[in-house]
Amino acid sequence: MSVLSVGGVVTTTNPLCSADELIRYLSSSDATWVICAPDCVEKIQEAVAHVTRVKGIFVMGNESVGGCTLFTKLIGDDGSAFPSDLKVNPKQDVAALLFSSGTTGPPKGVMLTHYNVIASVHLQSVPGFLKFESGVDIIPAIIPFFHVAGLVGVLSLGLKQGIRLITLPKFEPETFLRTIQEYKATRILTVPPLVFFLANHPLVDRYDLSSVSDIICGGAPTGPAIIKAVRKRLGQSNIPVREVFGMTELSSLTTIVTTDEEFEIGSVGTLLPNTTAKVIDLETGKTLGVGKEGEICFRGPQVMKGYRNNIEETRKMISEDGWLRTGDIGFYNEKGHFYVVDRLKDLIKYKAYQVAPTELENLILSMPGVKEVAVIGLPHDEAGELPKAFVVPKSDNIKPEDVMKFVEGKVIPQKKLRGGVEFVDEIPKSASGKILRRVLKARK
């Protein structure tokens, strides 16, 4: 926030990034200063050695590490360093340079202006959406602040509304559950993997989570089976598990299931104020009506300025009249509730048919012995692609052939798992909880 107040640009990175990844991020952003935790210093210094624009590294804490300057030196200023002639153009000047999740390729630098961020926070703060009560609501901040959901949808939103945030450096099962119990957290803003955790992990039964009255989840479809499971696990049959839709390119959110509407499992909600949407035909680009599946597009004050130094990709993403193409396939019903069916680039093309991986994933997740699953298209000379499932089993009581037979008995022929079923220890995901299908396709 201090950087923004003096007209600077903030860019964030995952502390788990490798030195090579940091080199790419620092170079792409033209970063001049780095602020980090002590345990990241060695890796950052290795990266900075290959980046010419970085002037220095500030480290958090009370002791200097690797010769870096202590961050406390910055906050010790008496205010005289603040510029007296600061001029910021809210709609043009970039406030945050974040990087897309990279589910379909290398991350791209997303330019969010001051106007984008301010608009996003205000639109989410409307009653019924993410309007919280100061002095009452307590939220464990488990979504990483280097991600748009954490930076805008948790940190900025929380500061603006004056609610209590309990920051957690990383997810540790017992620490997360103990935080909810001890601080009596009222709402949880989270991603699908943590909803899976609440629904399945045996540790959950050892903690009192009765203070939680609202769960907001985004990043990827959660699925009806998981929502029902977490409700049962928490002993609250009516607790809302409100799904949202958003992207880095949309400064966080565009839709959310509101608190005052009838809860529809599977819906990502209705539009935020001052936000418009349309669904277009995948082939013709023609606008479709109620109940028709196509690519979802949004227009509003939260649409990014563009990708940094990438005019071509920006033009592909945003039309001349301001419509942002999400690359997500879905529809809306007569009540204005939106549903996301799948990612456009993740569609499996089997012969002349299109198969949605998420549909198969939700089906497989309904099996008692399945913990997590991801479905990809396996290249095939004759058919084009064959659906293949990577499954994380809950126990040894389930076999790959059991999954094959289960799916075969519930789907039309083109949706059968002709590419097979492979058991794995974990499903690769981005920090926001999205399945990294490209990683699975690379290991095939």
Say whether both 310 and 373 belong to one domain. no
In this structure, are 323 and 244 located in the same domain? yes
Same domain, 141 and 240: yes
- Say yes or no: 330 and 358 in one domain: no
Same domain, 162 and 311: yes
pLDDT reading at 291 higher than 90: yes
Render pLDDT for 362-409 as a digit per residue (tens, 0 to 9): 999 999 999 999 999 998 877 889 999 999 999 899 999 999 999 998
Residue 352 scores a pLDDT above 80: no
Whether residues 59 and 153 share a domain: the answer is no
**For the chain, percent of residues with pLDDT exceeding 70:** 98
Regarding whether 204 and 183 lie in a shared domain, the answer is yes
68, 87, 106 - which closes a domain: 87
How many domains, the chain? 3
- The pLDDT value given to residue 91: 95
User: How does residue 264 score in pLDDT terms, banded at 50, 70 and 90?
Assistant: confident
CATH classification at residue 431 = 3.30.300.30
Q: Is residue 170 domain-shared with residue 304, that is, in the same domain?
A: yes
pLDDT at 266: 85
Question: Are 252 and 371 in the same domain?
Answer: no
In sequence order, the β-bridge partners of residue 8 are: none
Q: Are residues 199 and 335 in the same domain?
A: yes
Q: In this structure, what CATH number is given to the domain that contains residue 309?
A: 3.40.50.12780
The verdict on 30 and 123 lying in the same domain is no
Q: pLDDT at residue 263 above 80?
A: no
In a domain, 101, yes or no: no
Tell whether 128 is covered by a domain. yes
Range of the domain at 158: 114-343
Asked if residue 295 is part of any domain, the answer here is: yes
The answer on 20 and 32 residing in a single domain is yes
pTM (two decimals): 0.85
Q: pLDDT tens, 268-290?
A: 999 999 999 999 999 899 999 99
